[in-house]
Amino acid sequence: METIIENELVKELANKHGRSRDSLVPILQDLVVHNRFLSKQDMIDVARELDISAADVYGTATFYTFLDIEPKGKYVIRICKTISCAMKGKNEMLATIEEILKVKIGETTPDGKFSLLETNCIGWCHKAPAMLINDTPYTELTPRKVTEILREYIKK
């Protein structure tokens, strides 16, 4: 049997959200905030903390698009690909981002700073095209605006 190394973060989150099944998603969400993704070990530790099977944690996590199980960059860019944004130039924005960051959809920059993903409608269709960088929405994008936004993030 493996020796159990305490996962302080998971413990802390379980203390914060509780250890019943309905605490699972909030704990996973906070883990993603901290680590940008759910590692295999984190999922096992959450399973132990809540006394449910690791498969259940995995099954639940993978249902939710934002609960990534692959490593992601510090800033996760999710560009909306649904109809309004598609109509209003999403592809052009995507090309701009790809050009600046030198990554394709699904990839993370080698420095681990940015991941580029597509997502479904984020509720800003009247100000399309739109994207999220982590939790922050950016709307009425133009290639120029995208360039400026990214420049700010690169500086951070």
Partner 1 sequence: MSSNHVKRVDLIFEKIECKAVLEKIVDMEPDDICQELLDSDLKGRGGAGFPTGMKWRFTAQEKDPVKYIVCNADEGEPGTFKDREILDQVPGKVFCGMAIAGKAVGAKMGYVYLRGEYKFLIPKLNTELDKFHKTMDEFNQNFRIQIRLGSGAYICGEESALFESIEGKRGEPRNKPPYPTSFGLFGKPTAINNVETLVHTVMIMNYGADHFRELGTKDSRGSKVFSISGDTPKAGIFELELGMTVDQFVNDFGDGDTKAVQVGGASGFCVPRKKFAETIIGFEGMPTGGSMKLFNSSRSMYNVLHNYLDFFTEESCGQCTPCRVGCQQLLKGVEAVKRGEKNSKYLDELVKLAKTMKRASKCGLGQSVGNAFGSIVENFKEEIIY
Partner 2 sequence: MVSLSINGMQVKVPEGTTILEAAKQLNFRIPTLCHHDDLCVAGNCRVCVVEQLGAKALVASCATPVTEGIQILTNSLKVRSARKHIIELLLSEHNADCTKCYKNGMCELQDLSNEFAVGDHIFIDLNTIKDYTVDRFSPSIQKDDSKCIRCQRCVRTCEQLQGVNALTVAFKGDQQRITTFEDLSMAEVICTNCGQCINRCPTGALVERTYLDEVWDAILDPTKHVVVQTAPAVRVGLGEELGLKPGKRVTGQMVSALKRLGFDSVLDTDFTADLTIMEEGTELLTRLKKALVDKDSDVALPMTTSCSPGWVKFIEHTFPEYLPNVSTCKSPQQMFGALTKTYYSRNRNLDPKDIVSVSIMPCTAKKYEANRPEMRSSGFKDVDYVLTTRELARMIKQAGVDFNRLKEDKYDSIMGVSSGAGVIFGATGGVMEAALRTAYEIVTGRPVPFEDLNITPVRGMDGVRQASVLFEDCKEEWSFLNGVELQCAVAHGLVNARKLMDGVKSGEINVHFIEVMACPGGCLGGGGQPIPTNEEIRKKRTEAIYAEDMSMEIRKSHENPEIIGIYKDFLGEPLGHKSHELLHTQYTKRVRY
Interface residues with ligand FES (CB under 6 A)?
Answer: 80, 82-85, 121-125, 128, 130
What string marks each residue from 98 to 137 as x (binds partner 1 by CB under 8 A) or -? ---------------------xxxxxxxxxx---x--xxx
Nearer to partner 2, 57 or 101 (CB): 57
Residue 132, classed as helix, strand or coil, is: strand
Residue 5's contacts (CB-CB under 8 Å, 6 or more residues apart) are none
The answer to whether 109 and 101 are in contact (CB under 8 A) is: yes
| Contact flag: residue 121 with partner 2 (CB under 8 A) | no
| Contact flag: residue 105 with partner 2 (CB under 8 A) | no
Q: How far is CA 29 from CA 37, 78, 84, 107, 122, in A?
A: 9, 16, 28, 21, 18
Distance between CA 81 and CA 79 in Å, rounded?
6
* Residue 141 Cβ vs ligand FES, minimum distance, rounded to whole Å: 10
Residues that bind partner 2 (CB under 8 A): 1-2, 40, 43-44, 47-48, 52-59, 62-63
